[in-house]
Structure 1
Amino acid sequence: MAFTRATGKHRARSSMSRRGVGAAGAATLTATGVIGTLAASPALAADANAEAAAQTGLAHAIALGDTLPGVIEDQAEAQRHAADRVARIKAEAVAKAQAARMAEARAKEIRAERERAARAAERERLNTFQPPIAGSAVTTGYRAGGSLWSSGSHSGVDFRAATGTSVVAVGAATVVEAGWGGSYGNNIVLRMSDGTYTQYGHLSSVAVSVGQSVAAGERIGLSGATGNATGPHLHFEARGGQEYGTDMDPVGYLRAHGVTV
């Protein structure tokens, strides 16, 4: 039994129609290229996006690789500058400390020099002696005999001096007696810096008081004729102690201290 093909939508395409469709698809592929194909295929589009991302990351890595040595060099340079600054600060601190130590050492030297100079000046002051009356001379010597003295001899020396002549301390001393002294009249006794004593008798007036410190050449009174005296003069004694009877040669004493008598 023979069958005949029904008409309608179920008819197969003709070869001409198939050829037309193929030509059209080829034309579309040609016109749109790979992009059209990728757009038509989700899988291919994802692959393309991944490739594009990979290409972008590579470009970023290449750019970073180009700038990284410069960044590292800048950081190294900044670190060198910081290290140099720290080194300068430390060096300045060391220099300041050294300068301070040198200044302190110099200050100590200066103080020591001043103290030595002061001590030397004090020694010179203490060791400087002068005659009790300037420009005078001895009229009666030590140990001269006669009835004028209760002990039978002169326990000091007499310097020529008119009443009212200035009498000075022969050296730096402390006043241990000042006032009336019996046969000595108005008298002064000084304890000298070396521990010896000097006495000044027959004064018309006394200008110091007990406990007072006096310097060499400082006026302590005025000459006169008070006490057991035959006329105005200065009676001067040098003693080993404050008491009467400890006398020593006054001329030898003054000469031992550099005084020309």
Structure 2
Amino acid sequence: MAFTRATGKHRGPSRLTRKRAGIAGAAALATTGVVGTLASPALAAEPESPSVEDTGLNQVVIVGDTLAKQVGAQADVQQEEADLAASKAKAEADAKRNAELRVKAARDAEERAAREAERKRLLSYNLPVAGSYVSTDYHSGGAIWSSGSHTGIDFHASSGSKVVAVGTGTVVEAGWGGAYGNNVVIKMNDGTYTQYGHLSSISVSVGERVTPGQQLGLSGSTGNTTGPHLHFEARTSPEYGSDIDPVAYLRGHGVKV
């Protein structure tokens, strides 16, 4: 008796049917050229590589960039601070140097002024007795003078009055001068000579350099005199008889007589 295969959804295809279907499917695929694409479940296409987002690398890159920017910004700030400090130091150094230059300039100006004042002082002339006046004129006549006339002028001065050099010069005589008593003779810077007679004391010595207003001694009445006063002469040489008008001499050097 022949048996037929029952059909229905509740039965799966027989083994023979599955085999035939597999053969048919393979033939069909071979005909279309798609055989090479078939693979067993074990040889199926590998899943795609995970993206950067899947691995977390993107977050690391972002953090790295941010850190680099922060470090760069910090370096910029430090550089600005260093530049500012250098600029401040330079400004302070410049200010200090300028202040020093100003001080030096002021000091130099003071020194120049002092030198100029000293130069003028050394070139200046003054009265031999401060605040005094001429009591006997030049070339006054009388028997009191051996030459017959006064070879100098007399300045009023009580005994012990301070007698000073009328200008800058060098002492060429200091001591007893006969009729002049104690006297001092000075060779002046301009080549002329001045004489101071009848002194009660002398405070300079031969060879000493004197300046205007420097004390030479004290007035008195030594030598040929009728009383204390200062005999003053101006000469062209240290010798007696080379006298010139002492008033004109003093006035010629700016002294009010």
TM-score by length of 1: 0.67
- CA gap of 1:88–1:241, structure 2 versus 1, over 3 A, is farther
2:195 to 186, 190, 199: 199
Cα deviation for residue 91 of structure 1 reads: 0.8
* Contact 2:52–2:58 under 8 Å retained in 1: no
* Contact 1:167–1:219 under 8 Å retained in 2: yes
Hey, what does 2:179 align to over in structure 1? 183
Q: Gaps (5+ residues) in structure 1? A: 1-14, 16-40
Q: Which residues in structure 2 correspond to 1:58-137 (within 5 Å)? A: 59-137=55-133
1:65-124 CA-partner distances (Å, limit 9, x unpaired): 221331231122022113212311321232133113312320221112211221233134
Following TM superposition, where does structure 1 have runs of at least 4 consecutive aligned residues deviating by more than 6 angstroms?
A: none
- CA gap of 1:166–1:90, structure 2 versus 1, over 3 A, is closer
Distance 2:96 2:191 in 1: 45
1:113-153 CA-partner distances (Å, limit 9, x unpaired): 21122123313433454322344432332234556555554
1:122 aligned partner, one-letter code: E
1:79 is paired with a residue of what secondary structure?
helix
- Give me the CA root mean square deviation: 3.4
2:60 aligned partner, one-letter code: L
Higher helix share: 1
Hey, what does 1:161 align to over in structure 2? 157
Distance 2:242 2:71 in 1: 95
Q: Which residues in structure 2 correspond to 1:230-249 (within 5 Å)? A: 230-249=226-245
* Contact 2:174–2:206 under 8 Å retained in 1: yes
Distance 2:104 2:131 in 1: 45
Distance 2:119 2:240 in 1: 29
Distance 1:68 1:186 in 2: 107
Distance 2:57 2:162 in 1: 111
- CA gap of 1:227–1:94, structure 2 versus 1, over 3 A, is same
Q: Gaps (5+ residues) in structure 2? A: 1-13, 15-41
Q: Which residues in structure 2 correspond to 1:134-153 (within 5 Å)? A: 134-145=130-141, 148-149=144-145, 151-153=147-149
- CA gap of 1:211–1:59, structure 2 versus 1, over 3 A, is farther
Hey, what does 1:170 align to over in structure 2? 166
Distance 2:255 2:151 in 1: 20
Alignment length, in residue pairs? Answer: 218
- CA gap of 1:179–1:55, structure 2 versus 1, over 3 A, is same
Hey, what does 2:8 align to over in structure 1? none
* Contact 1:126–1:193 under 8 Å retained in 2: no
Cα deviation for residue 190 of structure 1 reads: 2.7
- CA gap of 1:65–1:224, structure 2 versus 1, over 3 A, is closer
1:110 aligned partner, one-letter code: A
Hey, what does 1:6 align to over in structure 2? none
